[in-house]
Amino acid sequence: MAPLIKTKQTEKIINGISTQVVCTEFSNYIFIVLTQYGKIGTLVSVTPDTRCSDVSAPVITTKVLLGKDEALTHVYAKNVATFVCQEAGNRPVLLGLSLKDCTAENLKTLKEMIKSCQVW
Amino acid sequence: MAPLIKTKQTEKIINGISTQVVCTEFSNYIFIVLTQYGKIGTLVSVTPDTRCSDVSAPVITTKVLLGKDEALTHVYAKNVATFVCQEAGNRPVLLGLSLKDCTAENLKTLKEMIKSCQVW
């Protein structure tokens, strides 16, 4: 029997650090964990505003559910997950972030890793 | 390359309702979703009190992170996930509950399904 809940994962060494990405599809959320510690880390919900129909500039709300609530976390979460919300038909993303190295350069690599684990 | 983040899932028909269980191991959390809708549903953290060393009667704290905060949810989460915390070396559980049918009888079946998806 094929699993009903799609899940994919990948691993890559980024600047010498082993990095895991896990993506799981639920009907109301895409669950994504980006981790360099094997942890779930800071858990953030990334929710597109359904009242807003302008896809080119979606309004995205981020909320830290678990862990330290830092400004950078919101910025990073929004940057890394907004494209998933859009591609997944405006579905929210539940995102676990546990990264040693949050740079703009890594962001591109992480987004490529997420794309390679597309479950939506 | 073997996936570093262990994940297992199972499906069972309980009283005519298709029920999925997904378990994923992170170093700081066991992530478990019990769903009859394909949704993550209500997200609850189930945390054992680390100050308490009495394994026979652990103190467990539950907190609703996403969704409706109802008394029954806390009771159900505690009942379904406490044994995982204990077996996983006092690790907390991040639990998604999306059940049509929350009865004491189903609890037993759900716990058996979780056991069959042991990732810890």
CATH number where A102 lies: 3.30.230.90
Residue B97 domain-assigned? yes
Task: State the smallest CA–CA distance between residue B6 and chain A in angstroms.
Answer: 10
Residue B1 domain-assigned? no
Of the candidates A115, A94, A114, the one whose C-alpha atom is nearest the C-alpha of residue A20 is A114
Number of domains forming the structure of chain B: 1
Give B59-84 pLDDT, tens digit per residue.
899 999 999 999 999 999 999 999 99
Residue A1 domain-assigned? no
Residue A72 domain-assigned? yes
**Could you tell me the residue range of the domain that residue B103 belongs to?**
6-116
Task: State the smallest CA–CA distance between residue A39 and chain B in angstroms.
Answer: 5
Task: State the smallest CA–CA distance between residue A114 and chain B in angstroms.
Answer: 15
Residue A104 domain-assigned? yes
Give A26-72 pLDDT, tens digit per residue.
999 999 999 999 999 999 999 998 665 555 666 899 999 999 999 99
- Does A26 sit within 8 Å of B39, measured CB to CB? yes
Note the pTM of the prediction, 2 decimals. Answer: 0.92
- Does A37 sit within 8 Å of B27, measured CB to CB? yes
Digit-by-digit pLDDT tens for chain B (120 residues) are 456 899 999 999 999 999 999 999 999 999 999 999 999 999 999 999 866 555 566 689 999 999 999 999 999 999 999 999 999 999 999 999 999 977 888 899 999 999 999 999
Residue B108 domain-assigned? yes
- Does B40 sit within 8 Å of A28, measured CB to CB? yes
Closest-CA residue of chain A to B42: A28
Q: Per-residue DSSP letters for B2-45?
A: --SS-EEEEEEEETTEEEEEEEEE-SS-EEEEEESSSS--EEEE
ipTM over 0.95: no
Residue B84 domain-assigned? yes
